[in-house]
């Protein structure tokens, strides 16, 4: 983390890097109090607790004609009122850099790091919760890509990413996930074709390594400037390297449609199927895949609906449950009641069928309500209530939690120069 902060300062202060067009620095202070009626997310013997958090956030951005640089670091000290053994420091770090190396060539780097003891990770792509303990863990994700645009509708991308999870809890497995990809898209007047190749390597602390090779291809038609339809296909080969591991093929196909009738309204949907066949076995899995998205902005209200379903590889989370069929739907609405008062509500429903675990299906329900009030020009207050319920065929995976968080934030400092 210290190396990342040093890199940011070098990029910002090094003369001659690029003539800056816009630079902005900001420092915020934060204090919050949180109450939960199920601290360890257990079905029985629930423990409640209050947590106080104090900290701050430093953010900076710099843009020029050929580059963009963004940096954000947040620190929080969490103090538990009853179970003080959970007291710890939380860190969040984001660093992004985009550079146009030539007229049609760009280089992009993104980095995210967070350390926390929260049972539900901040990354929305991580489904698995940590139950029974609140030991700290940290996750680092980084990606680098190089893109070449050889005409306005065609491009070539090369890239690699890393997902690194380290847990202080010895019962939770550490993991390293490496991915490399190459993607080619060729656009014509009203049509496009694309081809992508991916390789994912997953290493674990004690479990055998799991590798996946994949090829993706698509053909699409631009019906109008704001309408597009495409046919998408993929084939993936997964190998579990340890003795007795499953090797299998997964094939997928779908048709997708996007439509933006106005700048403040967007529709998107896809529907298809998947098929998985395990080597040397009669085991077969098949099911529907889908995605949907809708967003609409009114004068004082924003509404969104999204969802996805099909399969995913649940590795590198609090549990390595492997190949999982899932279906997820989410809805959110926000409303600006006055110039200084905003409210929101959202909810979700998720179903997971763990194909590599016998007789286990999980259902997760979430809902939240919140208000945000601007007390002064640079002072904001918010209060959020959230509800979460997990129903599982395994009793130890089921729980219900109610949580309330009250938070006050002050923008202490903001300026265009660091000094």
Q: What is the pLDDT of residue 11?
A: 52
Residue 317 — left, alpha, or beta (φ > 0 → left; ψ -120 to 50 → alpha)? beta
DSSP state of 128: -
Q: Please say whether the beta carbons of 273 and 286 come within 8 A.
A: yes
The DSSP code sequence of 166-217 is: EESSTTS--EEEEEEEEEEEEE-SSEEEEEEEEEEEEEESSSPPEEEEEEEE
Tokens of 200: 């994912």
Number of domains in the chain: 1
Q: Please say whether the beta carbons of 212 and 199 come within 8 A.
A: yes
Q: Please say whether the beta carbons of 215 and 232 come within 8 A.
A: no
- Asked if the model's pLDDT at residue 15 lies above 50, the reply is no
Q: CA–CA separation, 400 vs 389, rounded Å?
A: 4
> Which residues constitute the domain of residue 411?
2-415
Q: What is the mean pLDDT of residues 24-28?
A: 96
Question: How far is C-alpha 346 from the chain's CA centre?
Answer: 17
Percent of all residues in the chain with a pLDDT value above 70, rounded to a whole number: 95
Q: CA–CA separation, 94 vs 80, rounded Å?
A: 26
CATH of the domain at 123: 2.40.170
Q: What is the mean pLDDT of residues 229-254?
A: 93
Q: CA–CA separation, 365 vs 414, rounded Å?
A: 39
Q: Please give the model's pTM, rounded to 2 decimal places.
A: 0.89
- Asked if the model's pLDDT at residue 212 lies above 90, the reply is yes
Q: What is the mean pLDDT of residues 164-188?
A: 95
Q: What is the mean pLDDT of residues 21-45?
A: 95
- Phi, psi at 60, each rounded to 5°: -150, 150
β-bridge mates for residue 308, sequence order: 291, 328
pLDDT tens-place string over residues 334-368? 999 999 999 999 999 999 999 988 789 999 999 99
SS3 assignment, position 7: helix
H-run or E-run covering 232: strand 227-240
Least confident interval from 17-21, 77-81, 206-210, 330-334: 17-21
């Amino acid at each position: 983390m210290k190396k990342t902060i040093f890199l940011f300062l070098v990029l910002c202060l090094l003369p001659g890097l690029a003539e800056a067009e816009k630079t902005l620095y900001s420092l915020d202070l934060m204090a919050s109090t949180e109450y939960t009626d199920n601290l360890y997310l257990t079905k029985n013997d629930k423990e409640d607790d209050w947590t106080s958090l104090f900290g701050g956030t430093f953010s900076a951005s710099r843009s020029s004609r050929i580059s963009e640089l963004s940096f954000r670091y947040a620190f929080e000290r969490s103090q538990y009122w009853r179970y003080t053994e959970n007291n710890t420091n939380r860190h969040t770090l984001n660093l992004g850099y985009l550079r146009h190396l030539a007229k049609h060539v760009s280089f992009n780097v993104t980095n995210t790091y967070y350390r926390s003891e929260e049972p539900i990770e901040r990354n929305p792509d991580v489904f698995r919760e940590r139950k029974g303990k609140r030991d700290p863990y940290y996750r680092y994700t980084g990606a680098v890509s190089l893109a070449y645009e050889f005409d306005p509708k065609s491009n070539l991308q090369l890239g690699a990413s890393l997902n690194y999870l380290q847990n202080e809890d010895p019962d939770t497995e550490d993991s390293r996930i490496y991915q490399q990809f190459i993607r080619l898209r060729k656009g014509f007047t009203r049509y496009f074709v694309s081809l992508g190749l991916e390789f994912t390597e997953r290493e674990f602390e004690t479990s055998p390594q799991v590798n996946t090779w994949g090829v993706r291809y698509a053909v699409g038609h631009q019906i109008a400037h704001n309408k597009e339809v495409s046919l998408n296909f993929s084939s993936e080969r997964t190998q579990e390297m340890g003795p007795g591991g499953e090797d299998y093929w997964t094939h997928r196909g779908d048709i997708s449609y996007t439509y933006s009738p106005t700048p403040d309204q967007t529709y998107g949907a896809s529907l298809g199927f998947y098929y998985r066949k395990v080597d040397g076995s009669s085991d077969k899995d098949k099911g529907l895949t889908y995605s949907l998205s809708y967003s609409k902005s009114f004068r004082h209200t924003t509404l969104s609906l999204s969802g996805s379903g099909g399969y995913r590889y649940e590795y590198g989370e609090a549990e390595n449950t492997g190949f999982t069929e899932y279906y997820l739907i989410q809805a959110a609405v926000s409303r600006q009641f006055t110039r200084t008062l905003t409210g929101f509500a959202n909810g979700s429903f998720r179903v997971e069928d763990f194909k590599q675990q016998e007789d286990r299906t999980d259902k997760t329900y979430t809902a939240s309500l919140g208000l945000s009030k601007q007390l002064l020009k640079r002072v904001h207050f918010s209060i959020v209530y959230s509800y979460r319920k997990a129903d599982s065929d395994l009793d130890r995976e089921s729980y219900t939690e109610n949580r309330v968080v009250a938070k006050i934030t002050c923008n202490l400092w903001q300026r265009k120069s660091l000094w």
